[in-house]
Structure 1
């Protein structure tokens, strides 16, 4: 595999991994008020190429955050117990928004690298045509 296509492959794997991370973060934000919802987290793993070349990344299995669910007092809620409490979600919006910003910046960095590799390849072809 040429260096240009390898660079494009590595950056596209980063784009896919960050896109999946953003999908799970948006699910967490959307379900922040859902009773019993557990925050989803995703980890990244190194993906080896065909010749054992490292550099690419992929997402690992989705994991549920096992921290305690928030106890919410609302006697009028249909899921509340005899004390008026029910289990909310363990999603912290501040953490989710910070993680989303980090994933967005990583996505943008991978996109910039992809564009740079594409431009270098295009310019090399232009030089070879002369």
Structure 2
């Protein structure tokens, strides 16, 4: 029975990690037009438990080092003497691609979780007979 709970744990860790990634992507999209906002990125790592089972964990959330777009708007409150201010460095195309990748990874982990659950349920049905 341990293998079933192990597989559920692995897929649950993947679900949690991709959920966190989707949350960060949503923050980035929401702040696309926020002046000075820096895009956040998520790094994953592998955590090995005492049982030797590897699970996915969120290692760290970091800020993208790219410079923000320089926008010319002399009337903006954040504009400098030359009339420019720094916009965000969020690229919506990149965020959409990240969101799709995270969504597909989430769905794959969910399918694995469901398969393990169905196998466990099938085993219980066989043992009852």
**Structure 2 unmatched ranges of 5 or more:** none
Please show how residues 86-105 of structure 1 align to structure 2 within 5 Å: 86-105=85-104
TM-score, normalised on structure 1? Answer: 0.96
Question: What is the alpha-carbon distance in structure 2 between the residues aligned to residue 43 and residue 74 of structure 1?
Answer: 35
Contact 2:72 2:85 in 1 (8 A): yes
**Structure 1 unmatched ranges of 5 or more:** none
Question: What is the alpha-carbon distance in structure 2 between the residues aligned to residue 53 and residue 12 of structure 1?
Answer: 13
Provide the secondary structure at the position in 1 that maps to 2:53.
coil
TM-score, normalised on structure 2? Answer: 0.97
2:69 is matched with which residue?
Answer: 70
Q: What is the aligned residue count? A: 129
- The offset of 1:93, in angstroms, is 0.5
Question: What is the alpha-carbon distance in structure 2 between the residues aligned to residue 123 and residue 83 of structure 1?
Answer: 70
2:73 is the alignment partner of 1:53:
no
Provide the secondary structure at the position in 2 that maps to 1:60.
strand
RMSD: 0.9
Q: Compare the two structures and name the one with the higher strand fraction.
A: 2
Please show how residues 111-122 of structure 1 align to structure 2 within 5 Å: 111-122=110-121
Question: What is the alpha-carbon distance in structure 1 between the residues aligned to residue 83 and residue 40 of structure 2?
Answer: 27
Provide the secondary structure at the position in 2 that maps to 1:72.
strand
- The offset of 1:113, in angstroms, is 0.5
- The offset of 1:69, in angstroms, is 1.2
